[in-house]
Structure 1
Amino acid sequence: MKCAVLDDYQQVAETMADWQPVSERVEVKVFHNHFESEDELVQAVQDCEIIAIMRERTPFRRQLLERLPQLKLLVTTGMRNASVDMDAASEQGITVCGTRGGGEGTTELTWALILGLARKLVQENASLRAGGPWQSTVGADLYGKRLGLLGLGNIGGKVARIGQAFGMEVTAWSPNLTEERAASAGVKRASSKEEVLETGDFVSIHLVLGERTRGLIGAEELKRMKPTAYLINTSRGPIVDREALLEALRSGTLAGAGLDVYEQEPLPSDDPFRTLPNVLATPHIGYVTEASYRQFYTGIVEDIQAYLDGSPIRILNAKQ
């Protein structure tokens, strides 16, 4: 039986887990490059009964799944993957399994972006390295400022606690946020997303991408933000309207943005998010930490072993 492990960009898949439990029963092929075309991908994995994918790096939509008749087990890292067509997988008899969580990386990266934006670290570091002016910018304070959160789930709640430690006032909103949940986190529950946007000095997004949240932040919403405010998105790119955000950043409607996620990934080499001076951008590395990767790849091996033993674990369905 053949297994393809896709998108191992850092070339660590084989060292982050012990593959011995399945190595005698499965021939594992690890791919380090991202396939730019569906035809190239199909050519590479069409003989594989098992495919393991890392988050949403390679979407598995109906059209692709239909071109892989040998596929029997699809393993995704995490317990949710919006880029997999679960209905199509079910119709083809493909078992889809997930793995345990992803550590604290996204929470930590959120604060790296906030701090980097507030203290203009990229500009100051570049100036220092180039022998430029000594101290060329004036940083923004966190203490006493308002942190607005769109989403107060697992990650949002952790981001809130760190904001409180910095002495920030924290407000939050999500479609299902209750007064009880906000109070338990020591956070003020905003009456609407508009309140979060209008009052936040730093607004950070921690919502799951779905029909209700796709395009949630558009041109009208961005216009409500203070011109001195910063928007941080470590959740999913399509939650924010791309063109509206670009316009807000170019026009100065918004002071800046910290971005780790995009509508298209990898980001094209000529994409303006790579070069706008008021954008601090990272290549979707919120979950890319040693702890996360060890959990993910160990989970992949466990899922494959359980499937081979006839008792699949952590099976996903269309509602996840």
Structure 2
Amino acid sequence: MKLLCLWHATEAELNLIKEKMPRGTEIVCPEGEYFSRFESTYANLKRHAVDADAFIGFALPEGIPEIAEKLEFLSWLHTGVDDLRRMGVLALAKQRGFKIANARGANAIAVAEQAMMFLLALAKKTVFKNEASRNKRRFFPLFADEYRSAMLHGRTIGIIGVGEIGSHIAKCAKAFDMHVLGIRRNKERQDENVDSMHGMDELHSVLAKCDYVVLAIPSTRETSQVIGKAELAAMKSTAFLVNIARGALVQEKPLHEALTSGRLRGYGADVWPMYDFGRTYPISWVPRLEIQTLPNVTGSIDQAHNADDVFERYLDWGIQNVVEFATGKPLTREVNLDLGY
């Protein structure tokens, strides 16, 4: 079997892959100079891709899957595959019959911790009070609405998407004595830290009960723009919304209106919407309405997964995917090409 690493792997990374792969596996990767070692170009990968049996990597140049006629397996070193869907790779996989596995769960704890950071930062007005501290400002009068922090203790949190990440968020929320409501595609699957599990058809009724709402669902055609004017209207005006998943889940215009009118108390996001060429015009990779500049918004520019242990887990689990495929074992993290995750 020939395995193509899609990034400029270090010697240590290549040795790790060689140690775990079955004997006789040919392992190749791009060589030469690079701008980012986690990606490569069509020109650098072309000669390796044409007869590769499997790919493993973080980025996939346009055109490479199409010329890889022997491709049987792709180990995608991310938790989501919405980028592969946009590139047409999921459709190509269905057409040709090659399998895809991802690294879902590898960053779950890090992202769940980031979600809790957003809850606390919004509730405790961390950014606002940090700036006041830098400027030696004092708050008067005491307990005024604009200065008083919110509490997590005894409040209700709704977790939209109780998968690997959502489950960890629920566990963390319980440590703060929060009441946890969950929404997932199959509401019959319970979670020990979720007090009440619901289906997506109950979204509005769940939103109405929550003091905090965290979005942790995968980005698919069905979930795109799932939070809009009606959903925001269903929420309490005192509630906070946190998006730890994908920017495309939330409609930007209704969100901006809710945040600037007092209809929503605050918003925390690790992700912003991407307006890609061909789907939107003009293109933009930041909010068009500059939501990130609002005083009741806190962001972290896709840094939730940038934490200790995460890269090592991406690599370990990605290699495990390839080993499972090469040895004919069931794929632990196989992507359902119909569901898109």
Same fold judged by TM-score > 0.5? yes
Q: Deviations over 1:46-93 (max 9, x none)?
A: 334265333xxx577xx7456544783532025752332323035456
User: Does the 8 Å contact 1:199/1:225 carry over to 2?
Assistant: yes
Name the amino acid aligned to 1:292.
V
Name the amino acid aligned to 2:190.
R
Q: Distance in 2 between matches of 1:231 and 1:13?
A: 43
User: Does the 8 Å contact 1:52/1:74 carry over to 2?
Assistant: yes
Alignment of 1:164-203 (within 5 A): 164-178=174-188, 181=190, 184-189=192-197, 192-203=202-213
Matched, 1:76 2:71: no
Which residue is equivalent to 2:91?
87
Which residue is equivalent to 1:255?
265
Please identify, of 268-277 and 251-260, the stretch whose mean Cα deviation from structure 2 is larger.
268-277
Which residue is equivalent to 1:114?
119
Name the amino acid aligned to 2:158.
G
Alignment of 1:218-233 (within 5 A): 218-233=228-243
CA RMSD after TM alignment? 4.0
> Secondary structure of 1:167's match?
coil
> Secondary structure of 1:258's match?
strand
> Secondary structure of 1:264's match?
coil
C-alpha deviation, 1:255, in angstroms? 1.3
CA 261–48 in structure 1, closer or farther in 2 if over 3 Å, else same: farther
Q: Which runs of 5+ in 1 are unaligned?
A: none
Q: Which runs of 5+ in 2 are unaligned?
A: 141-146, 277-283
Give the number of aligned pairs. 305
Q: Distance in 1 between matches of 2:218 and 2:286?
A: 27
User: Does the 8 Å contact 1:17/1:301 carry over to 2?
Assistant: no
Q: Distance in 1 between matches of 2:98 and 2:163?
A: 31
Q: Distance in 1 between matches of 2:317 and 2:212?
A: 35
Normalised to the residue count of structure 2, the TM-score between the two structures is 0.71
Name the amino acid aligned to 1:28.
C
Which residue is equivalent to 1:284?
302
Q: Distance in 2 between matches of 1:159 and 1:229?
A: 17
Q: Distance in 2 between matches of 1:291 and 1:198?
A: 37
Q: Distance in 2 between matches of 1:273 and 1:203?
A: 18
> Secondary structure of 2:190's match?
helix
The higher-RCO structure (CA 8 Å, 6+ apart) is 1
> Secondary structure of 2:304's match?
coil
User: Does the 8 Å contact 1:201/1:226 carry over to 2?
Assistant: yes
Matched, 1:268 2:285: yes
Query: Matched residues, percent identical?
Result: 21
C-alpha deviation, 1:98, in angstroms? 3.3
Q: Distance in 2 between matches of 1:273 and 1:304?
A: 41
Name the amino acid aligned to 1:76.
W
User: Does the 8 Å contact 2:46/2:64 carry over to 1?
Assistant: no
C-alpha deviation, 1:196, in angstroms? 2.0
Matched, 1:124 2:122: no
Alignment of 1:24-63 (within 5 A): 25-29=26-30, 33=36, 41-49=41-49, 51-54=55-58, 58=59
> Secondary structure of 1:263's match?
coil
Name the amino acid aligned to 1:118.
A
C-alpha deviation, 1:306, in angstroms? 6.9
Q: Distance in 2 between matches of 1:265 and 1:293?
A: 27
Q: Distance in 2 between matches of 1:262 and 1:76?
A: 22
